[in-house]
Amino acid sequence: MKWLKHLETINHHKILVMQLCFKVGLYKQGLLHDLSKYTPVEFLVGAKYYQGTRSPNSKEREQRGYSSAWLHHKGRNKHHPEYWIDYGLTENETMIGMKMPLKYVIEMFCDRVAACKNYKGENYTDADAYNYYMKSKSHYIIHPDTQALLEKLLVMLRDHGERITLNYIRYKILKHKDTYPY
- For 44-88, the pLDDT digits (tens) are 999 999 998 888 999 999 999 999 999 999 999 999 999 999 999
Given this model, what pLDDT does residue 41 score?
96
Does residue 128 have a pLDDT over 90? yes
98, burial (CB in 10 Å: exposed 0-12, middle 13-18, buried 19+): middle
pLDDT at residue 173 in the model: 97
**Which of 46-55, 147-156, 160-169 bottoms out in mean pLDDT, i.e. has the lowest?**
46-55
Which residues lie below 8 Å from residue 93, measured CB to CB, with a gap of 6+? 87
Which helix (H) or strand (E) is 40 found in, with range?
helix 40-48
What is the rounded CA–CA span in Å between residue 180 and residue 138?
A: 27
Is the separation of the CB atoms in 143 and 100 below 8 Å?
Answer: yes
> Whole-model pTM above 0.85?
yes
- Domain positions in the chain are 2-34+77-174
Residue length, the chain? 182
d(CA 25, CA 47): 32
Instruction: Specify whether the CB–CB gap between 121 and 96 falls below 8 A.
Output: no
